[in-house]
Amino acid sequence: MTEAPPRVLTIAGSDSGGGAGIQADLRTFFACGVHGCVALTAVTVQNSLGVTGVAEIPAETVAAQILSVAEDIGLQAAKTGMLASAAIIEAITPALDRVGIGRGGRTPFVVDPVSASMHGDQLLADSALDALRGLLFPRATLVTPNLDEVRLITGIAVEDRADQRVAAKALHALGPEWVLVKGGHMWDDPECLDLLYDGSEFIELPGPRYDTRHTHGSGDTLASSISSALAKGATVPEAVRFGKDFIVRSVAAAYPLGAGDGPVSPLWRLDR
């Protein structure tokens, strides 16, 4: 019998098109050699053109999924994606504390503050922003906002690398141990610079910018690959460097799907 691989939990929504959400997370976990567990928050009716419906899972069922897998299977890291509502954030917070996920506990916790799809469809209620800031940010080992999320959370409109540093400081003041301000939406930046900050040191992670519209699921894939590396014992800077390399390869292997935006491919290592 072989030993179980590290286990990583995603607390996130389903994308019926299979490109983002838990589907991207599970493909990434598989590719990174960890076992993926899921606390499903919502079912989205979604394809390559956008989201046309959302059905939320009852908040107590989301919390119960976390307790069920943490207490039996055991977790070495956890991440969030689409959390949908304040009720879900408020319900999962005591569950996270009970099983030691996040700061003060043993298990690294990556908070990807997903607020909208790449088409601008809302995935987090406006009324949930206070709960995200007040309950989840202080518990996070790492937060990974894109620039739209930075603006929603801090009010700062990032246009260049100087703004990115100002935003990283404002986000760090909300309590997470580390902040990764993603540069995918800094459209004039040819390097897609992601900026990592722990309150004292800035670490710049440049990469190529591929000329493609097929980046659906890029944020989820990045956060899941970082979480996988943390589960294997990497430090946060090591895990983020691993994740950046992983997402660059996944964007390079992205494929068209449907009439809109195709998904990145976390399974770039496999022959097709």
Ligand X SMILES: Nc1ncnc2c1ncn2[C@@H]1O[C@H](COP(=O)(O)OP(=O)(O)OP(=O)(O)O)[C@@H](O)[C@H]1O
Ligand Y SMILES: Cc1ncc(CO)c(N)n1
The 10 Å Cβ neighbour count of residue 169 is 14
Would you state the structure tokens that stand for residue 39, as one six-digit string? 């606390």
**Subset of residues 215 to 234 that bind ligand Y, contact rule: CB under 6 A:** 217, 219-220
Which window, 12-20, 142-150, 240-248, 255-263, contacts ligand Y (CB under 6 A)? 12-20
- Kindly report the backbone phi and psi dihedral angles of residue 188, in degrees, each rounded to the nearest multiple of 5, phi listed first: -85, -5
Would you state the structure tokens that stand for residue 113, as one six-digit string? 């503050």
The interface partner of residue 79, options being ligand X, ligand Y, none and the CB cut-off 5 to 8 Å by kind, is: none
What minimum distance in Å lies between the beta carbon of 227 and ligand Y? 15
| End-to-end alpha carbon distance in the chain | 30
Determine, following the binding rule CB under 6 A, whether residue 132 of this chain makes contact with ligand Y: no
Find the radius of gyration of the CA atoms of the chain: 17
Determine, following the binding rule CB under 6 A, whether residue 113 of this chain makes contact with ligand Y: no
Is residue 258 within 8 Å of residue 48, measured between CB atoms? yes
The interface partner of residue 261, options being ligand X, ligand Y, none and the CB cut-off 5 to 8 Å by kind, is: none
The interface partner of residue 15, options being ligand X, ligand Y, none and the CB cut-off 5 to 8 Å by kind, is: ligand Y
- Residue in 82, 131, 142, 230 binding ligand Y, rule: CB under 6 A: 82
Q: Which residue is nearest to ligand Y (CB)?
A: 21
The interface partner of residue 207, options being ligand X, ligand Y, none and the CB cut-off 5 to 8 Å by kind, is: ligand X
| Residues constituting the chain | 272
Q: Give the C-alpha separation, 251 to 263, whole Å.
A: 8
Is residue 47 within 8 Å of residue 260, measured between CB atoms? yes
What minimum distance in Å lies between the beta carbon of 97 and ligand X? 27
Q: Which helix (H) or strand (E) holds 153?
A: helix 147-154
Side-chain-side CA neighbours of 247 within 13 Å: the count stands at: 34
Which window, 7-15, 52-60, 230-238, 245-253, contacts ligand X (CB under 6 A)? 245-253
Site residues for ligand X per CB under 6 A: 20, 118, 146, 182-185, 192, 194, 207-210, 212, 215-220, 222, 244, 247-248, 251
Site residues for ligand Y per CB under 6 A: 12-15, 20-21, 44, 46, 81-82, 114, 117, 123, 217, 219-220
